[in-house]
Amino acid sequence: MAVRWSRGGYGRPMPGTLRITVLTFAVLALLFALAFAHRLLADGSLGATAFFAVLAVACAVVAGALAARRAWAPFPAYALAGLLAAASLGLFGAITVVGLALLAWVLWALNTRPSREWLSRRRHPR
C-alpha cells in the first residue's frame, strides 16, 4: 500500500532555478541594507545612502514577489537585473561580469518552463 504525504501549500515545490533566484535577490537585499547602514553611520553621504536604501527595498520586493508567486514578479526582476547590469558596465572588471551574469541568470531562470508554470499558478491534471 502506497502512502502519499501532502506537502500542503501550493501543492508543488518551488522550482530550483526560481529558488536560487529568490535567494540571490534576498542576499542582494541584505548586502544593500548593510551598505545603507554603513553609509548612514560612517559617511553620511545622502546620495549613496538613498541609492543603497532604494536598491535594498527593490531587491526585497522582487524576492518577496517571486516567493509569493505573483504573476507580475518576473518583470521587476528583469528590470532590476538589467539596471544592476547596466550600472556595472562602467566599472569594467569582475563586477561587470557579476552584473551581466545576474542578468543572464534571471532571464534564463525565470523563462524556464517550470518557473513560468509555477508563477502562473497553472494546474496540470495528472
Model confidence pLDDT, tens digit, residues 35-55: 999 888 886 778 888 989 999
Residue 3 pLDDT grade (very low, low, confident, very high; cuts 50, 70, 90):
very low
With cell 532604494, the residue in question is 54
C-alpha 36: how far from chain center: 19
Listed in sequence order, the residues at least 6 apart from 45 whose beta carbon sits closer than 8 Å to its beta carbon are 39
Residue 106 pLDDT grade (very low, low, confident, very high; cuts 50, 70, 90):
very high
Answer whether 87's CB lies under 8 Å from 54's CB.
no
C-alpha cell belonging to residue 28: 542582494
The rounded mean pLDDT for the chain is 84
Three-point CA angle 62, 43, 87, nearest 5° = 40
> String of b and e for 70-87 (b: at least 16 CB within 10 Å)?
beebbebbbebbeebbee
Backbone angles phi, psi at 6, to 5 degrees: -85, 130
